[in-house]
Homo-oligomer: A and B are copies of this chain.
Amino acid sequence: MHSIEYRVYYEDTDAQGVVYYANYLKFCERARTEYLRLLGYEQKELMDIGVIFIVRKVIIEYLKPVNLDELIKIDTRLNKVKKVSFNFLQTIYNSNLEKICEAEVFCGSINSASKKPMLVPEKLLKNMTKEIS
């Protein structure tokens, strides 16, 4: 499991005074990216060899609002890892460690040119698989 903290800035909020519902997906992607980086992944590097990871589906539940200036924590877990797809479970907590959001994110590995499924690079796949065993 991977855990990271982010501060909530004006850019993340809307006129209801709390984080805008689409912006949780930005926090979630930052967290997934940092987790994958630790497992040996660089987005830029993979783009160069023609592999990109895309999101195929998201199920996200908003449990509590989050305010400006709060420090949120995101826990990210790899839930399933196959050769051309993998899923994450992500949970966001506010400063009081109350659960504010849960997301399941279904990703795919594709070729950036053909847009067809492409194997997750071997070393990364191995590291990702270790995470769920």
A residues adjacent to B (C-beta < 8 A): 7, 9-11, 13-18, 20-23, 25-26, 29-30, 33-34, 42-44, 47, 52, 54-62, 65, 67-69, 112, 115
- Closest residue of chain B to A63 (Cβ to Cβ) is B56
Task: State the Cβ distance, A96 to closest chain B Cβ, in Å.
Answer: 14
B62 with A55: CB separation less than 8 A = yes
A69 with B57: CB separation less than 8 A = no
B11 with A20: CB separation less than 8 A = yes
A62 with B67: CB separation less than 8 A = no
Give 7 nearest A-B pairs by CB, closest first.
Answer: A22-B25, A13-B15, A44-B69, A10-B14, A11-B26, A15-B68, A21-B55
Chain B residues near A29: list those with CB within 8 A.
Answer: 9-11, 21-22
Q: How far is A113 from B33 in the complex, measured between Cα atoms in Å?
A: 27
User: What are 22 of the A-B contact pairs (CB < 8 Å)?
Assistant: A9-B26, A9-B29, A9-B33, A11-B30, A15-B17, A15-B18, A16-B54, A17-B17, A22-B22, A22-B25, A42-B69, A43-B69, A44-B67, A44-B69, A47-B68, A54-B65, A57-B59, A57-B60, A57-B61, A58-B58, A58-B59, A65-B115
